[in-house]
Amino acid sequence: MTNENPNPVVNVNFSTRSNGAIAIISINYPPVNALSGQVRSGLVNAIESLENNDKVKVIIIRCQGKTFIAGADIKEFGKPATEPFLPDVVNRIEACTKPVIAALFGTSLGGGFEVALSCHYRVALSTAKVGLPEVNLGLIPGAGGTQRLMRILGPEKSLEMITSGRHINVKSFADSSLIDVIVEDGQSGLTGLDKVGTVDKIDKLDEATIAFASQLIETNHLTPKRIGDLPVDGAAFNWQQAKVAITKKARGKLAPVVAFDVLEKTQAMNISNGMAYEREQFLMLRASPQSAALIHAFGAEKKAAKISNTATPLKVTNVGIIGGGNMGSGIATSFLSANFKVQLIEQTNEALEAGLIRIKNNFSNNVKRGRMSQQAADSCIANLSGSIDYQALADCDLVLEAVFENIDVKKELFKKLTEICKPTTVFATNTSYLDINAIAQSISRPEQLVGMHFFSPANIMKLLEVVQADKTSEQVIATAMQVGKQLKKVSVLVGVCFGFAGNRMYTRYGREIQQMLLEGAKVEQIDNAMTNWGMAMGPLAVQDLSGIDIGHSARSAQPFPEHDKGYFRAAATMVEANRLGRKTKAGFYDYDEIGKKQFSSIVQSLLEQKAKSLNIKQVTFSDEQIVQRALFALISEGLALLKEGIVQRVSDIDVIWLHGYGFPRYKGGPMFQAKQLGRDVVKQQLTELRESLAKDKANKIWPEVDMEVFQTLF
C-alpha cells in the first residue's frame, strides 16, 4: 500500500484485490471527519490524480475513526470560506469518469451526506445514519443536497428529510436506490466474500465495499451512475398541500419554508441550474439572524457541557429516588431509560404503588407514541424496584430526592441518608428554589451534596441544572455532569441563589408580565404578543397550566419585596379568588368542559380593581412594548447572574432558556438577542426602562447596567 497524497488528512491507498485497480481515498480528520478546507482540497486532489491514473478503475471514499463525514466543519463557521467550495467538490466527484463508491458508517450528515450523494454508489453498515440537519442551523443543504436527494427519493420523502433535519437509519431506504448495499452489522461474513473473521466494523465495511468494487470491475460496470443525471418525479406530488403543512410546522422558522421553495422551484430544472438556485438561497439564509442564532445555540450547548474541573466522575449504576410523585416518577423514568438501576422510595405502600404505576405509564406512553419498542420498555422497567424502607438505599451510588419543597423535611431526609448510605454515595436534591448551602450545613458530608434540578416533565424536558453548593466537591460535580450526559440531558452548571439561574430569571420575567397586567396590558394580548414573537407558550397560559398557587406558595416563603408593590399581585389576586388555573377550570383564563381557554371578564375586572387599589395607572400597551419589557427583564437579570458568578459563561443562560422555558431556538436565547441588538441599543433601552419605570432612586428592579459585566456580552 502506498500513500500518493501528501495531504495530512486525506490519504490514498490501493487495495491488493483486482490488481490494484481499486483506489481508496481515506479521510482521517477527527473527531467527526468534518469537511474542513484540508479535507475538501484533499478530496479534489485525490479524485483528480486517480482519474489520471490508468491503473485505477474504481475509487472508494471512506473515513477513519467513528463516522463518515458528519458535515461542514463547525470550526470554520463565521470565517471566510476558502476554495475549493463544497459545491465544486461534490460536482467534481460526480463528474469523475470512474465509478466512485462511498462507504458509509456512523452519521453521514449535511455536507457529508452531500458528498455521499455525489458518489455513484453507496455501501453502508446497517447501523449507519444519514441526514441533512442544516435546518437545525437555520440553513438548507447548499451543495446539491436538495437537488440530488429529490432526484433519488422524490419530493415527498426529500422534503420530510430536509425540513425535519432528522438522522435516518439507512435500513429505511431499503426500497429505494439511495443505498446500493447494506452490510449487516454483527455478521461475521458476507455472501460471496472471503470470510471476514474477527475484524472491527469498519474493516467489515471495507471488505464489503472492496467486494462491491471488484464486482463492478469483473462485470465491467464502469460507467458512473450519476444521480444528477436523473429527472425529478414530482408531477403527482401535491405541492400546495405540502407548503401549507411545512409553513404551519415551521412556526416562524425560515429554513424549512425556503427548503420547500427551492424544491418546488427547481423540480423542472437541470442539476446545474437547480444547484445555482439552491446555493443562492443557502447564502441568503447563511447571512440571516436566524441562522446566526441557531449556530450560536448549537455551539452554546456543546460549551455548556464543559466544566473547568478535571476530577474523575464516580461510577454510577444504582440510583435511589425518593418520592414517586410526578417529578420523582419522571426522573426515575429518565434514569431507567438510560439503563440505570432505580430504587424508588415512598412513605407508604399506597404511595409507592402509585409511583411505580406512574413510571410504568410513562413507558407505556413512550411505546404508544413510537418513542421506543415494547421490548426496550420492558428491559428498562426490569431495572426498577421499590421500597418503603430507606435501608434499600444503602448501596446506591447516587440518591436523589424529589420530595415536598420544605427545607426542614429535606434536611431531615439527608441526615438520615448520611447514616444509611455507603461512604461514597452522592446525594442530590431536586429542589427548585431552596438554599442547598443551608441543607448541606445540616449534614455530616456536605461535600457529597449537589443540586440536580430537573424540569417537568422530567422524562421529556432536556434541561438539567447541576447546582454547585459552596462545599460540593469537584468529583461530585463531575459525577452529576456525567450522569446528566448519560441521561441525554443538556446539563448546565449553576451556583446557589433563589431559583438558581433558570427559575430566578423566570421569576424576573414573570414579575414583568404581572406588572404589565396591572399597568393595563390584557391577558390575551400578553400571551399572543409573546407567542407571536416565538415563545412556545404565553406566560399566563403557562401559569394556568402549572397552577398559579404553586409559584405563589414558593414566593410566599420569601419576604415580600417592599420596593416592588405590584410584585406578583395579579397572581395573588387569582389565588385569593380560587382561580388556580386549569385544575380549577379558572385562572387567568376561563376553561370550558373540554379544557378550551376563553377570555375572562371577571379576571379583567379583578385586575383593574387591584391596579386601582395599588394606585397603578392603567395605560395601553403595544405588542412590541410587551415583548421589549419581557425580554429586557430577562437580559437585566441575566447580567445580574453573570455578575454574581451564578453561571460559568453568558451562553449557559441561553442554553437554560432554550431547553427549560420554550425560548425560540431560532432567536438563540435572551443573551444572544442582546448581542444581536448590539451594545448601544441594549444599553440605551435598559437605561430608558430604568428611568421610565423607576419610582425610587435605588430602583432595584431595573438596576444600573454594570459596564464590566455588560462587556462580556459582546
Catalytic residues: 114, 134
Q: Which of residues 72-91 bind ligand 3HC (CB under 6 A)?
A: 72-75, 86
355 near ligand 3HC, rule: CB under 6 A: no
- Strand-strand pairing, 121-125 and 100-104: parallel
Instruction: State the DSSP code for 704.
Output: P
Tell me: does residue 168 bind ligand 3HC (CB under 6 A): no
Among 27, 102, 128, 143, binds ligand 3HC (CB under 6 A): 143
Q: Is 594 left (phi over 0), alpha (psi -120 to 50) or beta?
A: alpha
**Shortest distance in whole angstroms from residue 385 CB to ligand 3HC:** 31
Distance in angstroms (rounded) separating the CA atoms of residues 355 and 433 = 23
Q: How many residues bind ligand 3HC (CB under 6 A)?
A: 21
- Quick check: 278 binds ligand 3HC (CB under 6 A)? no
CA distance 364 to 370: 10
Q: What are phi and psi of 591, to 5 degrees?
A: -125, 135
Q: Nearer Cβ to ligand 3HC, position 303 or 360?
A: 303
Nearer to ligand 3HC, 69 or 642 (CB): 69
Phi, psi values for residue 54, rounded to 5°: -60, -25
State yes or no: residue 128 binds ligand 3HC (CB under 6 A). Answer: no
Report CA torsion sign: 137, 139, 141, 146.
positive
Q: Which residues contact 56 (CB under 8 A, 6 or more apart)?
A: 14, 20, 21, 22, 23, 50, 98
Cβ 110 to ligand 3HC, closest distance in Å? 2
| Residue that has been written with the C-alpha cell 430536509 in this structure | 162
Stretch binding ligand 3HC (CB under 6 A), from 17-25, 27-35, 536-544, 570-578: 27-35
Residue 110 or 539: the one with the smaller Cβ distance to ligand 3HC is: 110
Q: How far is the CB of 3 from ligand 3HC (least distance, A)?
A: 24
Contact between 137 and ligand 3HC per CB under 6 A: yes
Q: What is the CA radius of gyration of the chain?
A: 29
Judged by CB under 6 A, the chain residues 306 through 345 that form the site for ligand 3HC are none
Q: How many helices and strands in the chain, by DSSP H and E?
A: 27, 19
Q: Which is nearer to ligand 3HC, 266 or 429 (CB)?
A: 266
- Is residue 451 at the binding interface for ligand 3HC, with CB under 6 A as the rule? no
Site stretch for ligand 3HC (CB under 6 A), options 65-73, 373-381, 440-448, 659-667: 65-73
Binding mask 99-118 for ligand 3HC (x = CB under 6 A): --------x-xxx-------
CB atoms within 10 A of CB 614: 11
- CA-to-CA distance for 6 and 97, rounded, in angstroms? 23
Strands, E assignment, 473-538: 490-495
Work out the number of other CB atoms within 10 angstroms of the CB of residue 438.
13
If binding is defined by CB under 6 A, does position 587 make contact with ligand 3HC? no
- Cα separation, 316 vs 256, in Å, equals 41
Nearest CB to ligand 3HC, comparing residues 137 and 483: 137
- With respect to ligand 3HC, which residue has the nearer C-beta, 31 or 645? 31
Locate all alpha helices (DSSP H) within 382-450, ordered by sequence.
407-420, 436-441
Contacting range for ligand 3HC; rule: CB under 6 A; set: 14-22, 69-77, 562-570, 705-713:
69-77
Nearest approach, Cβ of 259 to ligand 3HC (angstroms)? 12
Burial 618-653, CB ≥16 within 10 A → b, else e: eeebeeeebbbbbbbbbbbbbbbbbeeebbbbbbbb
Is 302 among the residues that bind ligand 3HC (CB under 6 A)?
yes
Q: How many CB atoms lie within 10 A of CB 367?
A: 15
13 vs 136 by CB, closer to ligand 3HC? 136
Nearer to ligand 3HC, 33 or 514 (CB): 33
Task: Kindly state the smallest distance separating residue 148's Cβ from ligand 3HC, in Å.
Answer: 13
d(CA 423, CA 395): 9
In whole angstroms, the minimum distance from the beta carbon of 146 to ligand 3HC comes to 11
Is 31 a binder of ligand 3HC (CB under 6 A)?
Answer: yes
Q: How far is the CB of 165 from ligand 3HC (least distance, A)?
A: 8
CA distance 252 to 290: 10
Among 46, 115, 134, 342, binds ligand 3HC (CB under 6 A): 134
By CB under 6 A, name the one of 5, 12, 21, 71 that touches ligand 3HC: 71
Tell me how far, at minimum, the Cβ of 33 lies from ligand 3HC, in Å. Answer: 9
Q: Which amino acid is residue 87, in one-letter code?
A: P
* Shortest separation between residue 130's beta carbon and ligand 3HC, angstroms: 11
Residue 130 in the binding site for ligand 3HC (CB under 6 A): no
Dihedral (Cα; 538, 543, 544, 548), 10-degree rounding? -160
Q: Does 70 bind ligand 3HC (CB under 6 A)?
A: yes
C-beta separation of 232 from 149 below 8 A: no
CB of residue 35 vs ligand 3HC: minimum separation in angstroms?
Answer: 7
Residue nearer to ligand 3HC on the CB measure, 34 or 304: 34
Residues 143 and 72: beta-carbon distance below 8 Å: no
**Contact region with ligand 3HC (CB under 6 A), list: 26-34, 89-97, 424-432, 454-462:** 26-34
Q: Is 399:322 a contact under the CB 8 Å cutoff?
A: yes
Q: Give residues with Cβ within 8 angstroms of 260, minimum separation 6.
A: 159, 163, 242, 243, 246, 247
Amino acid at 251: R
Residue at 685: amino acid letter: Q
Question: Which is nearer to ligand 3HC, 142 or 355 (by Cβ)?
Answer: 142
According to the binding rule CB under 6 A, does residue 32 interact with ligand 3HC? yes
Q: Does 655 sit near ligand 3HC (CB under 6 A)?
A: no
Min CB(34)–ligand 3HC separation in Å:
3
- Which residue ranges make up the site for ligand 3HC (CB under 6 A)? 31-32, 34, 70-75, 86, 107, 109-111, 133-134, 137, 139, 142-143, 302
